[in-house]
Amino acid sequence: MSKYSFDNFYLNKNNREAFLAARSVVDHLGKTANPLYIYGDTQTGKTHILHAIEQYLQKSYSDLRVVRIRTKDFVDDLIFAIRSSARQEFREKYRTADVLLVDDIHYLAGKDVSTEEFISVFNAVFETGGQIVVTGHDSIPGLRKIGVSEMLVSRLEWGRAVEIPSDMLYLNAACKNRDIQILYVHGYLGTGYGHSWSLLCDELDLSKIPYHLDAPDFPLTNTDKMKEKLNKLISRNHYDVIVASSLGAFYAMQIPDIPKIMINVALPDNLMRIKALCTEQNQKLTPDFLESIDNVKSEFFSKTFDADLRKQTFLIYGTEDKTAANEDILSKYYDDQSKVYHIEMGHKLDKNGARKVVELITELASTNNS
C-alpha cells in the first residue's frame, strides 16, 4: 500500500471535511463537487489527497484516464510544446482526461498565456463530464487578490471549495509515512545531549513512536549565532514538532509554522533572577546578553505574535519551580490555559515532565479515525 493512499491519510477533525469531499468525488465522479477546490497552507495534506484520488481511481477503473499534474509542470509543458511546435500533442494529453487533478493552482497568478490554455483544458474536461480536483494555498477570494484570472476563479466557484485549516497542530507526514522529526532545543548552557535528552529518548522508546530526535549543541547565549544556527536547521530539515526548555524556549518561540512544546520558559524578565544564583554556568548570562534579549522581547510578545503563539504552542512548567517556571510573567502574554500544563517537577525536566511531553507528541501524531 502506497504511503499516499486514502487508507494512509492522517485524518483528524481539521482535515476531515476535505478528506470526505475527496472520497465523495471518487464515488460519484463529476456529480457531487465539480470542480472540487481544496485549499490551505503547505504540509496540510492537499497533495496527499490528490495522490490518493489518483491511486484509488486507477485501481478501481482500469480504463479511466487520470491526469495528475503540478501547475508549474503544466506551465513548463506548455512552454515546451510552443517551442517545439507540439501544441496539438499537448492539448491531446490534457483535454482528453477523464479526471484532471491539479496541484498548486496559485502558480498561475499573472501567467496569462498559461491561464488561457488551462481554462481551455478545464472547459474540455468539464464539458465531457470529467471530474476536476484542484488545490491551492489561497481561498477563492485570496486567488483573486494574488492575480489569478477572474475567468478561472469563477470556474472554481462552480463546484465546492473546502479549506484545510492552516493553524492545526498537524504532523501529517509523520503519521505512518515516516518517523516523527523532533528538534530539541535545550535550555542549559552546556550540550543538548544531556539528562533531558536522555529522558525524552527513553519515554519516546517506551511509547513505541517511530521518531528521530535532534538535540544540537546550541550557542544559547549568543543571540545572533543561535538564530543563525536555528534558521539553518529549520531550512534543511522538516521538523514536525519542536521541544524546547528554559532559555532555549525563548528562541523556539520565535520560530513560525511548527508546533512547539515548551518547558519552563525562561523569559528575559526573570533571567536576572537566574543570573543572581551565581553558579559558574550562569556567569555566561552577561549583562550584554541579558540586555540584548530584553530589547527584542517587545517584538516577539506583540499581539500578533501572541496570537500565533496560542495557536501553535503547548506550555509545560513545574509547580515547584521558583525561577524558570515564570507563571506570573507568562500569564501577561499567554491566556490560553487549555494548552498550559502544570507538572510536579522543578525547573529541570524530570520523568513526569518527559512523560507529559511524549504524551503531547503522541496526541499530535496519533490518527483519530473516530
- What is the maximum alpha-carbon separation in the chain? 77
| Residue with the larger pLDDT of the pair 276 and 66 | 66
Place of cell 536522555: 198
pLDDT band at 180 (very low <50, low <70, confident <90, very high): confident
- Does 178 score more than 90 pLDDT? no
Task: Supply the CATH classification number for the domain 180-365.
Answer: 3.40.50.1820
Mean pLDDT along residues 46-64: 90
Angle of CA points 32, 35, 39, to nearest 5°: 110
Which one-letter DSSP state was computed for residue 342?
A: E
- Does 158 score more than 80 pLDDT? yes
Q: What phi, psi does 300 have (nearest 5°)?
A: -85, -5
Query: For 238-247, what is each residue's pLDDT tens digit?
Result: 788 899 887 7
Distance CA 136, CA 138 (A): 6
Query: For 181-209, what is each residue's pLDDT tens digit?
Result: 888 888 776 656 567 777 888 888 887 77
- CATH 3.40.50.1820 domain position(s) in the chain: 180-365
pLDDT band at 267 (very low <50, low <70, confident <90, very high): low
> So what's the pLDDT on residue 370?
27
Query: Residue type at 74?
Result: F
> So what's the pLDDT on residue 332?
58
Q: Is 242 helix (H, G, I), strand (E, B) or coil?
A: strand
- CATH 3.40.50.300 domain position(s) in the chain: 16-163
C-alpha cell at 336: 490560553
Instruction: Give the CATH superfamily of 16-163.
Output: P-loop containing nucleotide triphosphate hydrolases (3.40.50.300)
Place of cell 520523568: 351
CA distances from 29 to 21, 23, 161 (A): 11, 10, 16
Torsion of the alpha carbons at 358, 363, 369 and 370, rounded to the nearest 10: 120
| Residue with the larger pLDDT of the pair 121 and 294 | 121
- Does 324 score more than 60 pLDDT? no
Distance CA 313, CA 252 (A): 10
| Residue with the larger pLDDT of the pair 158 and 172 | 158
> So what's the pLDDT on residue 113?
94
Mean pLDDT along residues 325-351: 66
- Does 323 score more than 70 pLDDT? no
- Nearest residue to 14 (alpha-carbon basis) of 139, 137, 162: 162
E runs forming strands in 171-210: 180-185
Q: Hey, which residues does 184 pair with through a beta bridge?
A: 243
Region of poorest pLDDT, from 37-41, 272-276, 341-345: 272-276
| Residue with the larger pLDDT of the pair 16 and 266 | 16
Query: For 82-119, what is each residue's pLDDT tens digit?
Result: 999 999 999 999 999 999 999 999 999 999 999 999 99
> So what's the pLDDT on residue 164?
87
> So what's the pLDDT on residue 16?
84
- Nearest residue to 38 (alpha-carbon basis) of 23, 58, 22: 22
> So what's the pLDDT on residue 177?
52
Instruction: Please tell me the pTM assigned to this model.
Output: 0.50
> So what's the pLDDT on residue 367?
38
